[in-house]
Structure 1
């Protein structure tokens, strides 16, 4: 293993991985997102990233069953205790990430449940129905007797990877493999390490595997026009799969056009809705507060599915009882949350300080110490709650809460569970993409849509050979 950081080094060395080959170099210097830690990378060689349009991708003729075999074998080697590349990635990531070591370690265990043979096969079946469309041309006859053949054709993709969880790259690599795509992964500055660690693991298993020859992981500063004006072109790639904040998505959108599409996982805001049943007993209220806190604090609220607003059905006195219990539960360690996280930004501090003088219409629990803040207000606050800051709004009825959802609302946790059916149509009409039981925002069922789509269905290029 090549060490990326020596005891006296001041800059972390970040390698690229280009179509099966590890590439080292110190040609370009950047700063990490959260703490401005310097790191250096090799020179970006554009020609090495392309497969000419006159050639099919390396994985074009590989049966999807073989790809699943390779992914399952890879998953068996992605144990932090045994994988030296992940261990090395962890040591680098803790230097640049706002998440503490304990939480980063826990994220490495997450993809295991999604990279089993059963999970991968189930997801493909739910997405495509007839999985044979991934391996070749499937013949169909319409009601008029006209014959056609359809294939989910392997695409050419650039991926802007998510930077808020080291495990995100593992599922992105699996998605890219299942669609037999030619891929370039743009690594995030919050974690420019884990993607290469996974690809190096795959290379140790099967260095010449066509899936590996289809993948490159490189870094450039997001928004660098000198790079993106070259890569984001239809002569090289079909689609940009973009995860990121508002500014990153807006920048990516300007490159979309004929022949080059954008599949955008936009920044989202999630919420919770709690019914009057929470106040049936003190024990129930404590349980509800715990479930709500677990949804709020996912990755210290640095995740789209972490709740930022909670609507509670009840009068102000009851809602304040809930707020007090919720505040207590924000300040504890969880698998993916810290008892003490990053402190709120100045805009939150200024807004909340002003609200302290507006009681009884507004009320605040907590200080700016990273242990959590609860702000009860008559309507949604006009700042973006983050860093374990949660806004609680009293409502007369759950349907009043549903009216506060928008197209930017991703996940809504509901208590009690049976009342989801009461408001899910209203939520979907408002633009919500996911309704869950309170406390299970991070759980999720396999094979479900994400952000209102089946991503793999969007990745591929649907092509028809029509005899009509």
Structure 2
């Protein structure tokens, strides 16, 4: 792996761009990190270089999918954190401008190679299309007696990435590579380094590979009409995929137009459903508390899959015992959570917690706003979205009582014990849930071959064309 260019420019950080496989590093435009307000410098944007004209054939449009998977697998080997200077650099710089600590970031970067492996890439393609061959060229079908050729044609896409966890860029890049399309990645202000670290690695592995030349990644201030008004147009791109919060999604929606589709990975809230079986013994209570804490702590509760509410069956004494055990577990370090050194709740949340604690016995608050995690016990969900390592434990007589609080904004539901899942999953699905897992597995699922936010993203990305012959 080549040593990276030095991108620390005095007190300012230089943010690399990658344009159609070529790295650009220069200090021409000043920006600020959203999380820390630290100054960062980027190259000046060449708007014409950020687009591909419609008459241009993409480099990977006709590349066999097996060859692309071979390339991604080679990239996975090059993403060994201990040998990859781009990942090491990204970790160090994101630790300066982001909200996740260095230990969490390093664990994330050590796991990124798994997204690019042959196994993961193959599972993603086969899960979406049933076979690898489905993405190679035209396929004839007989439909109502007529012969028709159908092709999943490579798309032209812009991707607005979220910066709450470094897993978003690898997921996006692998899916985009499998699509064989042309892709522009808009980097977020709280993660300006992960996407380009991956694209620079791809350029080292295959500088002239069709997939390498099919990607660009750049930073500009979100909502900059001078940039977005020029490039978010159907004459250049088919689709705009947006990750992020409510404001980012609503902003992206205004660009929807004939021939320019929005694919949204909306902001989500995740929950846990814990049955009375958790209280059967001290050992089971400790095990369930550990699982429940893992679902809260991942990425310091800053990802959509992290639990914010847990509905628990039990009497007052059982619920109090569970809350105490859960708060204790939240003070421990995990791979993706900073334990006792975690984030401190925002001041407005602390004031809300102080008020709730005065309403005992209707509410009770466990823990202090010192980074070790806090638990709110209540009989109804609190009226705010818990964050900063705050979890709301809602006491219920039956797990079905949680269903009125489940909506299309509920992403992942962790269930304990697993035997209760079968009786709940249809009702949860009808309420809008997209993912049901065993408690403790909110972040544990492997990438590749599973639906995401209620659909198959790779399937949605493609430009489907039929030719009647």
Q: Which runs of 5+ in 2 are unaligned?
A: none
- Mapped contact 2:310–2:394 kept (Cα < 8 A): yes
2:218 aligned residue: 218
Per-residue deviation at 1:175?
Answer: 1.0
Matches within 5 A, 1:415-454: 415-445=416-446, 446-454=448-456
- Mapped contact 2:312–2:319 kept (Cα < 8 A): yes
Per-residue deviation at 1:166?
Answer: 2.1
1:395 aligned residue: 396
1:294 aligned residue: 294
1:409 aligned residue: 410
1:95 aligned residue: 96
Q: Which runs of 5+ in 1 are unaligned?
A: none
- Mapped contact 1:111–1:171 kept (Cα < 8 A): no
Matches within 5 A, 1:230-309: 230-309=230-309
Per-residue deviation at 1:165?
Answer: 1.8
Matches within 5 A, 1:31-430: 31-142=32-143, 144-339=144-339, 340-430=341-431
Write the distance in 1 (CA, Å) between the matches of 2:210 and 2:24. 19
Q: Which moved more, 1:271-280 or 1:106-115?
A: 106-115
Write the distance in 2 (CA, Å) between the matches of 1:289 and 1:191. 32
Write the distance in 2 (CA, Å) between the matches of 1:87 and 1:32. 19
Write the distance in 2 (CA, Å) between the matches of 1:195 and 1:459. 19
- Mapped contact 2:91–2:109 kept (Cα < 8 A): no
Q: Which moved more, 1:266-275 or 1:164-173?
A: 164-173
- Mapped contact 1:132–1:138 kept (Cα < 8 A): no
| Residue aligned with 1:297, SS | helix
Relative to 1, partners in 2 of residues 1:53 and 1:196: Cα closer, same or farther, differing over 3 Å? same
Write the distance in 2 (CA, Å) between the matches of 1:2 and 1:126. 39
- Mapped contact 1:403–1:427 kept (Cα < 8 A): no
Per-residue deviation at 1:222?
Answer: 0.9
Residue deviations 1:416-439, cap 9 Å, x none?
A: 001011111111111000000000
Write the distance in 1 (CA, Å) between the matches of 2:258 and 2:11. 44
- Mapped contact 2:76–2:114 kept (Cα < 8 A): no
Per-residue deviation at 1:238?
Answer: 0.6
| Residue aligned with 1:210, SS | coil
Per-residue deviation at 1:189?
Answer: 1.0
Residue deviations 1:333-368, cap 9 Å, x none?
A: 110001121111122111111011110111110111
1:5 aligned residue: 8
Per-residue deviation at 1:455?
Answer: 0.3
- Mapped contact 2:66–2:132 kept (Cα < 8 A): no
Per-residue deviation at 1:82?
Answer: 0.3
- Mapped contact 2:356–2:365 kept (Cα < 8 A): yes
Per-residue deviation at 1:444?
Answer: 1.6
Write the distance in 1 (CA, Å) between the matches of 2:78 and 2:114. 14
Per-residue deviation at 1:316?
Answer: 2.0
Per-residue deviation at 1:403?
Answer: 2.4
Per-residue deviation at 1:34?
Answer: 1.1
Write the distance in 1 (CA, Å) between the matches of 2:120 and 2:185. 23
Write the distance in 1 (CA, Å) between the matches of 2:449 and 2:14. 37
- Mapped contact 1:133–1:150 kept (Cα < 8 A): no
Number of equivalences: 464
| Residue aligned with 2:61, SS | coil
Write the distance in 1 (CA, Å) between the matches of 2:39 and 2:358. 43
Write the distance in 2 (CA, Å) between the matches of 1:112 and 1:23. 24
Write the distance in 2 (CA, Å) between the matches of 1:130 and 1:206. 26
Per-residue deviation at 1:449?
Answer: 0.3
1:455 aligns with 2:442: no
CA-based RMSD of the aligned residues comes to 1.1
Per-residue deviation at 1:132?
Answer: 2.3
Write the distance in 2 (CA, Å) between the matches of 1:278 and 1:401. 17
- Mapped contact 2:115–2:174 kept (Cα < 8 A): no
| Residue aligned with 1:240, SS | strand
Write the distance in 1 (CA, Å) between the matches of 2:127 and 2:343. 39
| Residue aligned with 2:36, SS | coil
Write the distance in 2 (CA, Å) between the matches of 1:91 and 1:404. 40
Per-residue deviation at 1:300?
Answer: 0.6
